Amino acid sequence: MKKILAIVLAAVMVLGMSSFAFAEDTVPMKIAVWTSNESQLELLGSFVQEFAEKKGINIDVTFESIAYADFTTKLLLELQGAEAPDVYWVTETSAPAFIASGNLAVLNDAMAEYDPADFAEGAMSLWKKGDDVYAIPFSTSPFILLYNADLFEQAGVKTPEEYIAEGNWTWETFREVSKQIKDATGVWGYQTVDGAGYTTSVMQNLLPIIRTYGGDAWDAEGNVLIDNDGAIEAVQLFHDMVYVDQSVVPPGDESSFYTGAAAMTLSQISRVSNLDEVTWKWGMCTLPGNNPVIGQAAIGAFSGSKNGELAAELAAYMTNKECVARIAGIWPPARQSVLDSEEFLTSNSRISPEQMKNAVAASIATGRVLPAHELYPQISVEAQMAYDKLWNADADVAAIMHEVGDIYRSYVG
Amino acid sequence: MKIKVTGRLFLRFLLILIVTAFFVYPFWWMIVNSLNTSAQVFGKPTFLPVSWRWENYKEIFQIQPFGRHLFNSILVALVGTFGNILVSAFSGYAFARLRFPGRQVLFILLLTALMMPIEVIIIPLFFQMRDWGFNDSLKPLMLIPIFGAQGAFSAFMFRQFFITIPKELEEAARLDGLGSFGIFWRIMLPIAGPVISATAILAFLAAWNTYLEPLVFTSSLNNFTLPLSLNNFNDVYGQPQWNLQMAATTVSILPIMLVYLFFQEKVTDAMVNSGLKG
Amino acid sequence: MKKKSGMNRQRRVEALTGYAFVTPQLIGFVLLVLIPLINVFIYSFHNKNMLYGTNIFTGWGNYEKLLNDKLFWKTLGNTFRFSILLVPLNLVLSFLLSLYLGEQLFGSRYIRTVIFLPVVTSGVAWAIVWKYLLQSGTAGPINYCLSKIGITGPNWLTDKNWAMISVVINRVLKNLGTNVLIFLGAVMNMPRDVIEAARLDGASEWQVIKRVKLPLLMPTVLMVTIVTLIGSMRVFDTIRLMTDGGPEGSTMVLVYYIYHQAFKMFNTGYASAIAVILFLIVLILTIIQWTLRKKVSHYED
């Protein structure tokens, strides 16, 4: 069966390989990713070619773009087939299951030459089992706050930066600001992350508040903290914003920050390109309390690959210092040396060095990844049914959070 | 009397208004917003597009291989329909007119496929297609409309039709020296025109609209069909691009809708005859 | 003697031709329907997981798990709730519309054309468009229009009391055209003289419908009921795109739960057990249909 490939970087290959005449050394490599952005794929493609040059071989690389929403499902279906990818991206929530099921190759030897100690221990926790590394994070992207400066001005509200300077950027302030903007301009004060903060992104939406108030989903020891007093207070605060103040884009309403229909939103720096065409001034800052969720994505090698060793080496190469530095503007790095570098601050032309430092780097410093679990898909489906009950004006927040807690406890610890 | 007549006329207009609101307005709304910017999609509903942004129709082909998806859908639907008709016309004729041992049993066996939802067998089918090396290709999407429930349905339609043809026709043909195949190919198939078009229309619609099968059997972007493609107008992190989604949806609907409006009588007949009475 | 062997030969040729004609379809049927159907039963007795590659015989294990799976029972209930809402609404509307259209009054042709538009539209496109139309607040056109006449529209898709109704409305509108046309075919075939005679006897229009038209159309009504009922068990695209089974699992139906267990959680064995349940439900409905069909055609003779 002749497979039609997502994006063939043939041109890049011919250019890079013209000095090598040994066609028989060509190794096919298939890489599954969820971006379909051509410039990003081109960048990744150049890493592969540099790697091939270093090894003195030809690599016939194909990138396969799988939509993010179905990425894990589709990827797993692919791994079942004859033409499985050799190297693939892994989402954070599927990490434990992919490691436990043996679909990822151990990368310890392959990454040995690229200064593995440079990765902070916290950044690697999801991707290791014992001392073995199964995938290497290429993106450690915190959820930060984007805001529409024009709307703040129009409503006569101080900017978040001013509040931060005062040391007064708390969730209570945030609630107040959101309400003031809604009352003054009629525009929603806040949109949850892509409007999905009630459903698929409920954790990214609620955890920053919950953590600030002393709760969490569950900790490393298996203690569920989602329904302690702090967590309930935190969820109540958000609930009040939606149903008492009515300053948050409510469930089922697709009004979007990026189209000017909300004054603030939870976001990641990869989304800033959405703002290229807007006519209003926007800003970026840390979340109140600065306890954001960090989204991670890693690159791993398929344990069943025909060229397993090479695939592992390629995965390690693509996360070396040089490569990581070049993609840092799109995907904030997990490597401490790159994070600390001056280049990182100027790596994204849409984001000022101050924003990169005060919002992005500061969020990475204090943020944490989502809790992980081998049965994460099951847990999230069951928990979602409980979380859904929150989104009514008369919801009993404490009872519902206890219900979520019971579901977590039945899996964790 | 006069009041009664105007009352009736009013009710008729009301009915037409309601039907228009439910069945025409959604399409109108879709077309209007396919020519808006993303922000305008959520403004107050307007009767005409605000910005007339024709670039949307260009961008849908740039953001993902939409042309390819369109092609895939057409290919799958055409191959599926053609194969479906060919295979089921033969078997439908045999079940109606040729005597062979086990005919009744085999026919009833085949009919079990008629009501079998694909959802029941999708899991084993997935593993089977994997073992055949058909995963992430269009082959399962072509095979299932030919041999699955839709195939059994077409065979049933053909059988019901051929059973009504007078025996004399075949006997005369046989005297003229035609064999069974000749009778089928030269005499029976040509008079089966109405059934062919009816089953073809139904098979085409079924293959064109199938969603679960491509969802399960295809994974790479280049093998997507339209139903998958339409829900994939998101940016890298899953944020939908509403105006583009509407433009793509319009492109996916318009051709088939025009075909329908053009062949409306045929389509209507196909539905009326879709054989509940057999 | 010679003549008889000639007959036999002809018989044999006919039988061979018959087998040749049905073979392609039967091979396809065996490979793509029968074997998978047998396999789904086999899988349902195994602890089979796609992610871990496990495949261990567990006997009735999956079925025992079903008994204790609250989500499964909820799903089963939702499936029936969906059908119970959808089937009568669809039937009553399509029946009345077909009677109206059968009179061939002003606007009939227009109505007949437009109610069929959603039928030729893919379910995915139809669901996507309606998802926008049904937005909550006043962001969606429907609630916007309702607000203009002073009605606060519900949160169609995010309120657990409305989500199922929204999906039902979407499906009814999508498939109404098919049933209207099937009924219309039957309406057009009704003997005119019987109806005229009833009218001459002074029966009101309602009485004509109830006493004459409905009995005449009963066979069609029964068939359409079962077909619509079986079809309603299969609602997948609408659910996936409009509500994703939520809120609070209020629109999670059997087919979506099968997909969820098999392709999101990769519990293929457990999902197969749910598929077997779906198969049994459809089987029972099909048997009912064939029994009715026999009875009805008996009547007609």
Do C47 and C54 form a contact (C-beta atoms < 8 A)? yes
At C55-101, the pLDDT tens digits run 999 999 999 999 998 889 999 999 999 999 999 999 999 999 998 88
Other C-beta atoms lying within 10 Å of the C-beta of residue C108: 17
Task: Please give the CATH topology (third level) of the domain spanning A144-291+375-411.
Answer: D-Maltodextrin-Binding Protein; domain 2 (3.40.190)
Q: Which residue of B has its CA nearest to A253?
A: B42
Q: Would the pLDDT of A17 be above 70?
A: no
- For residue A88, what is the enclosing H or E element? strand A87-91
Q: Would the pLDDT of A251 be above 70?
A: yes
- Residue B232 — pLDDT band, cuts 50, 70, 90? confident
* B236 CB within 8 Å of a chain A CB: yes
Check which CATH number belongs to the domain holding B86 and give it: 1.10.3720.10
B37 chain-A contacts, CB cut-off 8 A: 259
Span B214-234, mean pLDDT? 88
Lowest mean pLDDT among A21-25, A105-109, B263-267: A21-25
Instruction: Indicate whether B237 belongs to any domain.
Output: no
d(CA A292, CA A196): 16
pLDDT higher for A238 or B167? A238
Tell me which residue in A252, A378, A386 faces C136 most closely, judged by beta carbons: A252
* Secondary structure of residue A3 in the 3-state scheme: coil
d(CA C133, CA B28): 12
Do B125 and B139 form a contact (C-beta atoms < 8 A)? no
C157 chain-A contacts, CB cut-off 8 A: 252
Domain segments of chain C as ranges: 2-43, 71-300
Instruction: Indicate whether B41 belongs to any domain.
Output: yes
C71 chain-A contacts, CB cut-off 8 A: 381-382, 385
Between chains, do C137 and A250 touch, taking CB under 8 Å as contact? yes
At A118-163, the pLDDT tens digits run 987 778 888 999 899 999 999 999 999 999 999 999 999 999 999 9
Q: Would the pLDDT of C250 be above 60?
A: yes
- Sheet with A188-191, strands from edge to edge, namely A188-191, A262-267, A144-148, A282-285
Q: Would the pLDDT of A12 be above 50?
A: no
Do B152 and C40 form a contact (C-beta atoms < 8 A)? no
A68 chain-B contacts, CB cut-off 8 A: 234, 236-238
Quote the percentage of chain B above a pLDDT of 90: 49
DSSP 8-state assignment for residue A368: E
Q: Which residue of B has its CA nearest to A257?
A: B39
Q: Would the pLDDT of C6 be above 70?
A: no
Q: What is the pLDDT of residue C201?
A: 86
Between chains, do B39 and A261 touch, taking CB under 8 Å as contact? yes
Tell me, yes or no, whether B103 and B206 share the same domain.
yes
Q: What is the pLDDT of residue C204?
A: 84
Lowest mean pLDDT among A6-15, A87-96, A271-280: A6-15
Span B31-54, mean pLDDT? 84
Residues 6+ apart with CB under 8 A from B35: B49, B51, B52, B53, B54, B56, B243, B247
Domain A7-141+295-355 has CATH 3.40.50.300: no
Query: Residue B147's domain spans which residues?
Result: 64-232
Between chains, do A199 and C244 touch, taking CB under 8 Å as contact? yes
- Residue B3 — pLDDT band, cuts 50, 70, 90? low
A259 chain-B contacts, CB cut-off 8 A: 37-39, 42
Residues 6+ apart with CB under 8 A from C156: A252, C134, C135, C136, C140, C142, C143, C162, C163, C165, C166
Q: Would the pLDDT of C221 be above 60?
A: yes
Q: How far C224 CA sits from the closest chain B CA (Å)?
A: 8
Q: Which residue of B has its CA nearest to A91?
A: B237
Q: What is the pLDDT of residue C5?
A: 63
* B88 CB within 8 Å of a chain A CB: no
At B57-76, the pLDDT tens digits run 998 998 888 999 999 999 99
Instruction: Render A255-315 in DSSP notation, one character per residue.
Output: --GGGTSEEEEEE-GGGGGGGTT--S-EEEEPPGGG--EEEEEEEEEBTT-TTHHHHHHHH
At B74-93, the pLDDT tens digits run 999 999 999 999 999 999 99
Q: Would the pLDDT of B121 be above 80?
A: yes
**How many distinct structural domains can be found in chain B?**
2
d(CA A382, CA A398): 18
At C170-179, the pLDDT tens digits run 999 999 998 9
- Residue B251 — pLDDT band, cuts 50, 70, 90? very high
Task: Please identify among residues 33-62 of chain C the ones whose CB lies closer than 8 Å to any CB of chain A.
Answer: 50-53
Span B37-47, mean pLDDT? 77
- Residue A194 — pLDDT band, cuts 50, 70, 90? confident
Tell me which residue in C15, C26, C236 faces B101 most closely, judged by beta carbons: C15
Between chains, do B134 and A82 touch, taking CB under 8 Å as contact? no
Q: Would the pLDDT of A110 be above 60?
A: yes
Q: Exposure string (b/e) for B163-197, b if CB count within 10 Å is 16 or more?
A: eebeeeebeebeeeebebeebbeebbbeebeebbb
Tokens matching residue B21: 């609101």
- Residue A21 — pLDDT band, cuts 50, 70, 90? very low
Between chains, do C158 and A255 touch, taking CB under 8 Å as contact? no
Q: What is the pLDDT of residue A3?
A: 39
* C14 CB within 8 Å of a chain A CB: no
Tell me which residue in A68, A80, A256 faces B130 most closely, judged by beta carbons: A80
Tell me which residue in A77, A250, A389 faces C136 most closely, judged by beta carbons: A250
Q: How far C27 CA sits from the closest chain A CA (Å)?
A: 22
Phi/psi for A186 (5° steps) reads 80, -5
ipTM: 0.89
* A4 CB within 8 Å of a chain B CB: yes
Tell me how many residue pairs between chain A and chain B have CB atoms under 8 A apart.
87
Q: What is the mean pLDDT of chain B?
A: 87
Instruction: Indicate whether B259 belongs to any domain.
Output: no
Q: Which of the other chains make 3 or more beta carbon contacts under 8 angstroms with chain B?
A: A, C
Between chains, do B45 and C145 touch, taking CB under 8 Å as contact? yes
Residues 6+ apart with CB under 8 A from A17: A49, A52, A58
Between chains, do A377 and C136 touch, taking CB under 8 Å as contact? no
Q: How far A302 CA sits from the closest chain C CA (Å)?
A: 13
> Which of A73, A98, A200, A201 best tests the C interface by mutation, with the highest count of C CBs <10 A?
A73
Lowest mean pLDDT among A13-17, B6-10, B121-125, C55-59: A13-17
Q: Would the pLDDT of A359 be above 70?
A: yes
Q: What is the pLDDT of residue A175?
A: 97
Q: What is the pLDDT of residue A321?
A: 92
Residues 6+ apart with CB under 8 A from C149: none
Closest CA to A231 of A203, A194, A189, A200: A203
Instruction: Indicate whether B227 belongs to any domain.
Output: yes
Instruction: Indicate whether B250 belongs to any domain.
Output: no
Between chains, do A34 and B236 touch, taking CB under 8 Å as contact? yes
> Which of C29, C260, C287 best tests the B interface by mutation, with the highest count of B CBs <10 A?
C29
Tell me how many residue pairs between chain B and chain C have CB atoms under 8 A apart.
261
d(CA A376, CA A90): 14
CATH homologous superfamily, domain C71-300: MetI-like (1.10.3720.10)
At A44-93, the pLDDT tens digits run 999 999 999 999 999 999 998 887 778 888 898 888 877 789 999 998 88
Instruction: Indicate whether B178 belongs to any domain.
Output: yes
Tell me, yes or no, whether B104 and B216 share the same domain.
yes
Lowest mean pLDDT among A321-335, B128-142, C287-301: C287-301
Q: Which residue of C has its CA nearest to A200?
A: C244
Q: What is the pLDDT of residue A7?
A: 37
Span C278-285, mean pLDDT? 93
Between chains, do A81 and B130 touch, taking CB under 8 Å as contact? yes
Tell me how many residue pairs between chain A and chain C have CB atoms under 8 A apart.
64
Domain segments of chain A as ranges: 7-141+295-355, 144-291+375-411
Q: Which residue of B has its CA nearest to C119?
A: B205
Closest CA to C170 of C112, C139, C127, C140: C127
Span A300-329, mean pLDDT? 93
Q: What is the mean pLDDT of chain A?
A: 88
Between chains, do B236 and A4 touch, taking CB under 8 Å as contact? no
* B104 CB within 8 Å of a chain A CB: no
Q: Which of the other chains make 3 or more beta carbon contacts under 8 angstroms with chain C?
A: A, B
Helix B66-97 vs helix B193-209: crossing angle, to nearest 10: 140
Q: Would the pLDDT of A4 be above 60?
A: no
DSSP-derived pairing of the beta strands A262-267 and A136-142: unpaired
Tokens matching residue C163: 């989500």
Quote the percentage of chain C above a pLDDT of 70: 96
At B153-210, the pLDDT tens digits run 999 999 989 998 888 888 888 888 888 888 899 889 999 988 898 899 889 988 998 9
Task: Please identify among residues 203-222 of chain A the ones whose CB lies closer than 8 Å to any CB of chain B.
Answer: none
Q: Would the pLDDT of A405 be above 50?
A: yes
